[in-house]
Amino acid sequence: MTIAISGNGISRGIAIGPVHRLERGEIEVYEASIHADLIEDEVARFRRAVRTARQQLKAIRNSIPDSTPVDITDFIDTHLLMLEDGMLTVAPVDLIRQHQCNAEWALKIQRDTLAQVFDQMDDPYLRTRVDDVDHVVTRILRILIGENATDTPGDSLRGAIAFAHDLTPAEAALLYHQGIAGFVTESGGPLSHTAILARSLGLPAIVGTHVTPHQIRDGDTVILDGMQGMLLADVDEDTLKEYRERQRTQQKRSADLNRLRNKPAVTTDGTHIHLMANVELSDDVRAARRAGADGVGLYRTEFLFMNRDDVPGEEEQLEEYLKIVKALKGLPITIRTLDLGADKSFSAHTSEHIAPNPALGLRAIRLCLKHTELFRPQLRAILRASAKGPVHLMIPMLSNAQELNEVLHLIESVKQELQRERLAFDWNIPIGGMIEVPAAALSASLFARKLDFLSIGTNDLIQYTLAIDRIDDAVTYLYDPLHPAVLRLIRMVIDAGLHHEVPVAMCGEMAGDPRYTRLLLGMGLSDFSVHPTSLLEVKDVINRSRIDDLKTGVARILDEEDPLRIHEMVKALNEA
């Protein structure tokens, strides 16, 4: 009898192969007192473990072929950089000496401290960066307890489906180059670096499953359906045959999509759609250019401020922005100003307290307007970068006219300051705002009159509208981009942009999901900003759509009240 186990599909595709379990349980860490005479020996033991962890990661990186795209190996480089960071290498040493405790316990204390910082961040993408801290900490802990963590299983994995409690980006990259067909983990989420890596590699994967050895054993042939987030075991020949045929169809489609890389996104009735990419690091631009993006529609700047005790200065920020501008070679880039919550991740003097609910607290533009000593250097750096290429400036989480007026006044002040200093910048730099809260969507007409463009951040807009946290497993079933209230808010923003002749983009995950592309086209959206790995799929839908044929069906969808009926109508729209 077929066993069906569900999870969260983080990377599409079908994999069929034998199970290979990577047995490694969770580590239990206990506190132990260290005699004063042995404290420095314990410090030395910890430092040796860090060095060994660094050597292991370098060995993994060196084992990956040179032909591997830079944006993939960068995930391993991120962990290597964390092993150079004092937050993980110096702070635990101080704790060992201060508490006279074992290295494992000191590392756990420091990990928990960092986790609290990340938990206070409202941006779901940034919040899941704690996974990277956990991966690095776990690697050091396994070395400290004497467990082999070299992650070199051998060639027996070719064609296998790896099962693990969790996988680091380094482990996933190595397993990929050892030929695994896919992987299944108990933990992890869709925004983790491992998930992003799986999508970038085109490696089918499911996370959040709870599979016991009694259900599925080593060597069993299983089917992994990344699209449905489903794992099937003990299947009959007819089911295997059906999924192998689906697999061949998907492989052919992937090859067909690659032919679209250098083609424009144009509907069959001749409407050109701007298809941009969301990026975070300068090397992400390579993936965007490979996918044929028209530019960068969302560049997150938060990474510059994270995991440090000081605030990055104007020159440091300028250097990073210019890397992106140079890499884009004339393509436009929209730089979003700092979007962090009320935490202590970048400077003690910018945070008086830990917000009880950071989603509703001092975050994004609220934080920047309260601490202009943090905001002005970033504005200066973005403006100076605009002298070297087509840069747009975008303000996150606007909610009222007063905030907008304050921001525009501050930008004008910084411009005059730069002019007096004879520093080059684009005086007419386009300034836009993110529509992420219902109040902003309801006030979209006001914002459209004062800004050069708007960008809908659907991730937060859906969360705030439906009052749910999309990374909270207890309520994720309520996260619905097709909820009639969400669709009406999106329509209001698009209509306001059309009325005032102001471009409206969408940079949330909804924009990168091909299931919603035709709906958004029919609503009048002409600017999409998506993850580079989703770009070709969205382009394919655009190139096969006729906007005039979509408008009537979309109008009916927007008039519908029943969410289930809306889902059926959207499905029919895509099949028409």
Q: Which of 59, 39, 58 is nearest to 47 (CA)?
A: 39
pLDDT for the residue numbered 12: 82
Residue 8, pLDDT above cutoff 90:
no
Alpha-carbon dihedral angle through residues 482, 488, 494, 500, given to the nearest 10 degrees: 180
Is 272 a catalytic site residue?
no
Per the model's pLDDT, the better-predicted residue between 101 and 310 turns out to be: 101
Give the DSSP letter string of 258-316. HTTTTS--B-TTS-B-EEEEEESSTTHHHHHHHTT-SSEEEE--GGGTSS-SS---HHH
pLDDT at 149 over 90: no
Grouping H, G, I as helix, E, B as strand and the rest as coil, residue 476 is helix
pLDDT computed for residue 532 by the predictor: 86
Sheet order of strands, 14-21 included: 3-6, 230-233, 221-225, 14-21, 161-164, 182-185, 205-207, 8-11
Closest Cα to residue 530, out of 321, 365, 314, 291? 291
pLDDT surpasses 70 at 351: no
- Asked if the model's pLDDT at residue 251 lies above 50, the reply is yes
Angle between helices 193-201 and 70-82 (to 10 degrees): 160
CA–CA separation, 1 and 234 (whole Å)? 6
Q: Which of 168, 60, 182, 47 is nearest to 107 (CA)?
A: 47
Sign (positive or negative) of CA dihedral 353, 359, 360, 363: positive
State whether the Cα torsion 482-488-494-495 is positive or negative.
positive
- Residues 36-64 have a mean pLDDT of 89
The CATH architecture to which 3-22+153-257 belongs is 3-Layer(bba) Sandwich (3.50)
Give CA–CA dist 369/360, Å, rounded.
Answer: 16
Q: What is the CA radius of gyration of the chain?
A: 25
Q: Which pLDDT score, from 0 to 100, does residue 352 have?
A: 47
| pLDDT the model gives residue 560 | 95
pLDDT of 191 above 70: no
- Say which amino acid occupies 469: D
Q: State the catalytic residue, choosing from 20, 79, 193, 531.
A: 193
What the block records as the tokens of 429 is 């730099």
- pLDDT cut 70: percent of the chain above it: 87
- The helix (H) or strand (E) run that includes residue 59 is helix 39-63
- Picking from 448, 425, 576, the residue whose alpha carbon sits closest to that of residue 500 is 448
- The residue with tokens 């003690």 is 348
Among the ranges given (175-179, 475-479, 490-494, 551-555), the one the predictor scored with the smallest mean pLDDT? 475-479
Q: What are 507's strand-pairing partners? A: none
Q: What is the pLDDT of residue 357?
A: 58
In angstroms, the first-to-last Cα distance of the chain is 36
Q: For residue 473, what pLDDT is reported?
A: 60
- The token pair at 80 is 């290597």
Element (H, E) at 373: helix 372-385
Q: 557: which 2 tokens? A: 């969808």
SS3 state at 569: helix
Instruction: From 528, 530, 524, select the one nearest 501 (Cα to Cα).
Output: 524
Set 274, 368, 392, 507: catalytic member: 507
Closest CA relative to residue 367, chosen from 386, 389, 395: 395
Distance (Å, rounded) from C-alpha 522 to C-alpha 526? 10
The single residue listed with the structure tokens 């079908």 is 14
Going along 300-450, which residue ranges are E strands?
A: 333-336, 391-395, 431-435
Average pLDDT score, the chain: 86
Close Cβ partners of 412 (under 8 Å, ≥ 6 residues apart): none
Which positions ≥6 away from 87 have C-beta within 8 Å? 110, 114, 307
Active site residue 507: yes
Q: How confident is the model at residue 345 (pLDDT cuts 50, 70, 90)?
A: very low
The pLDDT tens digits for 464-482 are 999 887 656 667 677 899 9
What pLDDT, on a 0 to 100 scale, did the predictor assign at position 302? 84
The rounded distance, in Å, linking the Cα atoms of 288 and 495 is: 29
**Tell me, what's the pLDDT at 421?**
97
Packing angle, helices 193-201 and 169-177, rounded to 10: 20
In tens, the pLDDT along 252-278 reads 888 888 889 889 999 999 999 999 999
The predicted structure's pLDDT at residue 42: 95
Q: Are 24 and 163 in contact (CB under 8 A)?
A: no
Strand 161-164 versus strand 182-185 pairing type:
parallel
Supply the DSSP symbol for 348: G
For 398, the 3-state DSSP assignment is coil
Question: Would you place residue 356 in the very low, low, confident or very high pLDDT band (cuts 50, 70, 90)?
Answer: low
CB-based burial of residue 546 (10 Å sphere; 0-12 exposed, 13-18 middle, 19+ buried)? middle
Q: Which of 197-211, 326-340, 383-397, 542-556 has the lowest mean pLDDT?
A: 197-211
Q: What is the CATH number of domain 269-575?
A: 3.20.20.60
- Higher pLDDT pick, 394 / 477: 394
The predicted pLDDT at position 228 comes to 85
Closest listed residue to residue 515, CA positions, set 539, 487, 544, 538:
538
* 266 phi/psi in degrees, rounded to 5: -135, 130
pLDDT classification of 114: cutoffs 50, 70, 90: confident
**Phi, psi torsion values for 203, nearest 5 degrees:** -100, 115
**What is the domain partition of the chain in residue ranges?**
3-22+153-257, 36-144, 269-575
For residue 329, the 8-state DSSP code is T
- What are φ and ψ of residue 526, in 5° steps? -125, 0
Q: Is the pLDDT of residue 423 over 60?
A: yes
At residue 347, the pLDDT reads 45
Q: How confident is the model at residue 87 (pLDDT cuts 50, 70, 90)?
A: confident
In 180-258, alpha helices (H):
193-201, 237-258
Tens-digit pLDDT profile for residues 364-383: 888 899 989 999 999 999 99
What is the number of other CB atoms lying within 10 angstroms of the CB of residue 177?
16
Least confident residue range of 156-165, 170-179, 245-254, 436-445: 170-179
CATH class held by domain 36-144: mainly alpha
How far is 469 from 472, CA to CA, in rounded Å? 5
Across 486-494, average pLDDT = 97
Q: How many whole angstroms separate alpha carbon 159 and alpha carbon 503?
A: 47
Q: How confident is the model at residue 420 (pLDDT cuts 50, 70, 90)?
A: very high
Task: Give the pair of three-digit tokens for residue 396.
Answer: 């996150």
Amino acid code (one letter) for 385: A
